[in-house]
Amino acid sequence: MKTPFKCLARGSRKTGCSLNIGMWSTEGKPEAAAWGILLADVIRHLANAIREEHGVELDTTVHKVVESLLSELDQPTSAAHGSFNLGHS
């Protein structure tokens, strides 16, 4: 089964992710829009988990996560590291 990404823990709080760029475009879907859908699904799953564990309303969590995401995109708290390797999986 194809997956859009896989992440591996690498010891002391370091995580590496391999993103399967092009997976959706090869299926005739717009790549950027598909990644947006994936991120929205992740946010909804996170909001559901926070509701179950801490009783916080879904809309509250979704709003706070999206607000934080937009802020981080506008003014990053750290630089993104890594590179794109064609055909890497």
pLDDT tens digits for the chain (89 residues)? 566 666 666 656 666 777 888 888 998 999 999 999 999 999 999 999 999 999 999 999 999 999 999 999 999 998 887 777 776 54
Structural tokens at position 88? 């890497």
- How many domains are contained in the chain? 1
Classify residue 53: in a domain, yes or no.
yes
What per-residue confidence (pLDDT) applies to 53? 97
Classify residue 89: in a domain, yes or no.
no
Classify residue 41: in a domain, yes or no.
yes
Structural tokens at position 74? 């506008």
Percent helix, strand, coil in the chain, to 5, is: 50, 10, 40
State which residues form the domain around 40: 30-75
Classify residue 36: in a domain, yes or no.
yes
Bridge partners of residue 17, in order along the sequence? 7
What per-residue confidence (pLDDT) applies to 81? 78
